[in-house]
Amino acid sequence: MGLPLQVFLFGLLTVFIVLLVVVATGNAIIWFVNRYIGAPAQEPGKPGSGQLLSHSGRIAALTAAVSTVTRGRGRVTNIEKL
């Protein structure tokens, strides 16, 4: 086996090992953050108060999109999450 081929294979192996270390480190960081830090707890408030605002905005956006696409002839009658 020639020297250029050995250098090439050694480089490929080195890159593969470095990428494995990077992926393993990233997964370990994600696991640690999810396990010990986590997301902040939601403050108890009025039930559905935050959802109403976001849903009304989404409904308005969908209605505007349907109106634009159908040139004012279409109408939204039902919205279901797939």
The first and second tokens of residue 58, run together, are 């989404």
pLDDT over threshold 90, residue 25: yes
pLDDT over threshold 60, residue 38: yes
What value does the mean pLDDT of the chain take?
A: 84
Round to whole Å and give the CA distance between 50 and 27.
Answer: 32
Buried b (16+ CB within 10 A) or exposed e, 23-45: eeeeeeeeeeeeeeeeeeeeeee
Instruction: Determine the residue type at 1.
Output: M
> What is the model's pTM?
0.47
Where along the chain do its domains lie? 12-37
pLDDT over threshold 80, residue 41: no
pLDDT over threshold 70, residue 61: yes
Round to whole Å and give the CA distance between 77 and 63.
Answer: 10
pLDDT at 21: 98
